[in-house]
A and B are shown apart, each in its own frame.
Chain A
Amino acid sequence: MATIRIAAPDTASAGEVIELKVLIQHPMETGYRSGPDGKRIERDIIETFEVTYDGETVFEADLQPGIAANPIFTFYTRATTSGPIVFKWTGQDGESWSETHDLTVE
């Protein structure tokens, strides 16, 4: 299980623009590097990152081999209603990791 860190407010007022910052620990191995034995290190990357807020997609990204290890995203969204914010990463072989942050809108 990859380590995921999220920085997001627990509460916000309706209409407020909030910052969401999230990081996943992942090697993002490009497939272009050689190991100490001279053999190519196999490609291992996250391919997609998607964030839903109360069921609606608010952020989406396609990741490429040029993106560094432990990708970190910071973005903004408008707080509208109390609900779960779900962060989901999907790897090249279909495996996925997700984490949920509950936001209460007052």
Chain B
Amino acid sequence: MTWSPKRRDVLAGLAGTAALPLLASPAIAKAQPKVVIVGGGFGGAATARFVKTYLPGASVTLIEPQACYTACPFSNLVIAGLRSLEAQQFGYEGLKAIGINVIGDRADDVDPAARTVTLGSGDTVSYDKLILSPGIDIRWGALEGYDESAASVMPHAWKAGPQTSLLRQQLEAMSDGGTVIMSVPTAPYRCPPGPYERASLIAHYLKTQKPASRLIILDAKDEFSKGPLFLEAWAEHYPDHLEWIGASDFGRVISVDPGAMALSTDFDTYEADVANVIPPQKAGEIAARVGVADQTGWCPIDPVDFSSTLQPNIYVIGDATIAAPMPKSAFSANLQAKLCALQIARELNGETPAPTILANTCYSYVTPDGAVSITGVYSNEGGQLSSIEGSGGLSPANPAPGVRAAEAAEAEAWFQQITQQTFG
């Protein structure tokens, strides 16, 4: 395995904006270009900041209905009772302070011809460039029985916030000896290793607080991100508290019944005391309305600048995009934001957007003080995203003492850095 050295080099190279060459001259072709961003997560907030950095003269507007953002990375620690939800929340004061106009409203629709965004209030905002960072929405009903009301009984907790708290409360209220069941869909979905990190931390909670209880993962897949590392950790730490059932062993959930707290696979029905249903997903709702999502429910983009291939002057970044092999992660969304901001700045300066190198690192906790990671490095040359062979890496199996703890410390440093850089 190509562990630390290579990966550290990559991360060092990407720290801050070092990987993105600053523009030689911020001379602006158009006097005051209007750049509007929809969505205030790791993608949208970072786009606003970096457009303002690269084009100080631009008018930058961020449209986000929530007064503060609740981050998904690290929210599995909240579910396991190891972190407060408040530690996941970030406001927009930092962005306002650098001159970004933050509108606390919903973007309801976009008119690509008139280049305007209609807000929930009915007001419109016009743009020269529009960046959509809408994240994901749940495909209600795609899993039989799983609609919006089912989510209040069988939380998905796949958007951080009230759902995170609900799942936490259910785990706390469950009596010892209970069965927790998690259902995991096929790709693509937000945060490929997320379900398995969550399972690790829930298993830790059960083992230490409710030792007669157990967690069953019903998976629609046979293989998953960092699979061997998770399986190794589970065998070591949670042999009596966590069971993973893959698709070949009939783990694929095909319907749920919230009234009976039942989850059915093709051949079996499981009853749960707590059910965490991670359902099939799609790009955040506005994407379909604006016409930047295709029949898959996700948004095709040109990976050189993340411009939509379906609508002019509109860019899409983050979980909503079709950017495989880049995963749907905060790290990816954040880097795509910087790239998109840079290429928009280049274009508005009369330059041509040029190919770059992209990367992603995902950390996953396997215990409260131990983590594993996977890193990918990607090229967008020729308008195609591809993994660069021989780059990236994975944490080692059978690690030396201290390796998992060192990665947990790296994970925490990463979260500090990315949230600080994005929200200020």
**A: which residues have CB within 8 A of B?**
5-7, 21, 23, 25, 69-70, 72
Contact = CB atoms under 8 A, between A and B. Distances in A.
A21 B266 contact: yes
A72 B266 contact: yes
B197 to A, nearest CB: 27
A22 to B, nearest CB: 9
B91 to A, nearest CB: 48
B248 interface: yes
Nearest to B250: A5
B248 A5 contact: no
Contact of B266 (A23, A25, A69): A23
Contacts of A70: 247-248
Nearest to A6: B267
Interface string B248-287: 1010000000000000001100000000000000000000
B267 A21 contact: yes
The 7 tightest CB contacts between A and B, nearest first, are A5-B267, A7-B267, A70-B248, A5-B250, A21-B266, A25-B248, A23-B266
The B interface, classified by DSSP as helix, strand, loop or mixed, is loop
Interface string B216-258: 0000000000000000000000000000000110100000000
A69 B266 CA distance: 16
B185 to A, nearest CB: 18
Given A23-B266, A69-B248, 13 more contacts: A5-B250, A5-B267, A6-B267, A7-B266, A7-B267, A21-B266, A21-B267, A23-B250, A23-B267, A25-B248, A70-B247, A70-B248, A72-B266
Contacts of B250: 5, 23
Interface string B159-192: 0000000000000000000000000000000000
6 contacts: A5-B267, A21-B266, A23-B266, A25-B248, A70-B247, A70-B248
B171 to A, nearest CB: 31
Contacts of A72: 266
B246 to A, nearest CB: 11
Nearest to B264: A7
Interface in B265-323: 266-267
Contacts of B247: 70
Contacts of B266: 5, 7, 21, 23, 72
Nearest to A70: B248
A21 B247 CA distance: 16
Nearest to A27: B248
A5 B247 CA distance: 13
A72 B247 CA distance: 12
A98 B36 CA distance: 63
Contacts of A6: 267
A6 B248 CA distance: 14
A70 B351 CA distance: 53
B401 to A, nearest CB: 30
A71 B267 CA distance: 14
A70 B247 CA distance: 10
Nearest to A69: B248
Interface string B334-364: 0000000000000000000000000000000
A6 B267 CA distance: 7
A61 to B, nearest CB: 18
A93 B266 CA distance: 29
